[in-house]
Structure 1
Amino acid sequence: MRWDRFFEDLEDQLAAEWEAERAALDSEAERLRVSRLQLRTRMVGFAQAAAAALAIDLVDGSLLEAAVTSVGADWVAARPASAPAALAEPSIVLIPLAAIRAVGAAHGELLRSARAPAAESRLAERVTFGFALRDLARRRAGVTIGTAAGRALSGTIDRVGADHLDLALHDADSPRRAAAVTAFRILPFSAVAWVRVSATTGVITP
């Protein structure tokens, strides 16, 4: 009986050591996976989970409360819940990932966003911020663009280059007519904090 007990103890000890080793390996694998997470992946997680409105701190100093609806290659589309006056009307806001300074979320949603997201369309990974802006230019959509300097510029995007856009300034609620244009601006993408578009415009989303 003593020998039986001895072998049982050995088996229990080996099983415990194996479980401890497996837990350590799993933990290390999880740490490695998390270390490779990018902000875009977290935003995809928020979008796929249909998370409640996030508190998004932007480079222009504004705080946007909005639910992420879709994610492109280097930008997100969000539907504001409440926002500063310039973003208050029903709209879709396009935000370059580079313009995000912080994201506030409930703890449960924060943890869910760190999990591996479900498979997404390959198109989403290819639709760049510039591509989305070219779609707005093609539609001649009125936009309001928030700059990193804290200014809001309204008008129509005339053309979009590789890293910048041309904006004709006029009342965003009015069609782009020569008589209505007051000035023109070239805006580098790096200077754009957000782009607000009417929710009825039908901007391309991945």
Structure 2
Amino acid sequence: MASAHQLVQDAEVSERLRTDFAGMDLAGRLHSQTGRYLKVDVGPCGAFEGELSHVGRGWIGLDGERRSSVIALDHVVLIGGMDRFSTVDAPAARLGLASALRGLSRDRAAVQVYLAGQPPASALDGSVDRVGKDFFELSLTPRGEPRRQGNVRGVFTVPLRAVAAVCSAV
């Protein structure tokens, strides 16, 4: 009788865990992976690797050996390196991709912008000038050159939905 009761309890616990996991979104799953080294594939743009440092609303931050990356979750195809543990009550991410890019704009950091569906060779080099609600302005500069008026080759408006990743320049 005790054995049958234990089997019922084990089945209930297993079902509860499956139900809890079924209600979790990707951002919630990623919150429990903060600090882990991940490989994130964004399709034709390539893969980005690093320690998961931030989980925002629709984006993650990876700190790699040579560069840091902000990756839009809408364009992620695969994520490797996550463990099997997760927390059901992950904090809700408040800051969106625009907020992450505003930090880069403030710092006038040299970046490479990877557009969704494009090969890595077509990444745009430059700096984020200004960030709106659903777009940002990118000043194109030659790779490795600082953003100076004489180095700017053009200023382009980029919709946020077109961005797969933004990385610190190598």
Q: TM-score, normalised by structure 2?
A: 0.86
> 1:77, 1:93 within 8 Å by CA — same for their partners in 2?
yes
> 2:126, 2:143 within 8 Å by CA — same for their partners in 1?
yes
The residue type paired with residue 63 of structure 1 is A
Structure 2 gaps of 5+ residues are none
| 1:17 is aligned to 2:12 | no
Q: 1:163 to 1:55 in 2, by over 3 A?
A: same
| 1:77 is aligned to 2:61 | yes
Distance between the aligned counterparts of 1:191 and 1:119, measured in 2? 27
Per-residue CA distance 1:115-163 (angstroms, 9 max, x = gap): 216865x7xx212111111121122222111111222101111111111
Distance between the aligned counterparts of 1:61 and 1:110, measured in 2? 25
Q: Which structure has the greater CA radius of gyration?
A: 1
Task: Give the structure 2 partner of residue 37 of structure 1.
Answer: 24
The residue type paired with residue 93 of structure 1 is S
Deviates more, 1:26-35 or 1:149-158: 149-158
> 1:60, 1:193 within 8 Å by CA — same for their partners in 2?
no
The correspondence of residues 1-206 of structure 1 with structure 2, limited to 5 A, is 13=1, 15-47=2-34, 50-51=35-36, 53-81=37-65, 90-105=66-81, 109-112=82-85, 115-116=86-87, 125-148=93-116, 149-150=118-119, 151-197=122-168
- 1:61 Cα offset (Å): 3.7
- 1:110 Cα offset (Å): 2.6
Q: 1:198 to 1:170 in 2, by over 3 A?
A: closer
> 1:78, 1:93 within 8 Å by CA — same for their partners in 2?
yes
Structure 1 gaps of 5+ residues are 1-12, 82-89, 200-206
Distance between the aligned counterparts of 1:61 and 1:172, measured in 2? 18
> 1:168, 1:181 within 8 Å by CA — same for their partners in 2?
yes
How many residues in Structure 1 have an aligned counterpart in Structure 2?
167
The residue type paired with residue 129 of structure 1 is L
The 3-state SS of whatever aligns with 1:195 is strand
Per-residue CA distance 1:54-93 (angstroms, 9 max, x = gap): 2211133402232212222221111235xxxxxxxx2211
> 1:72, 1:126 within 8 Å by CA — same for their partners in 2?
yes
> 1:146, 1:153 within 8 Å by CA — same for their partners in 2?
yes
The residue type paired with residue 59 of structure 2 is W
Q: TM-score, normalised by structure 1?
A: 0.72
Task: Give the structure 2 partner of residue 202 of structure 1.
Answer: none
The 3-state SS of whatever aligns with 2:114 is strand
Q: 1:134 to 1:190 in 2, by over 3 A?
A: same
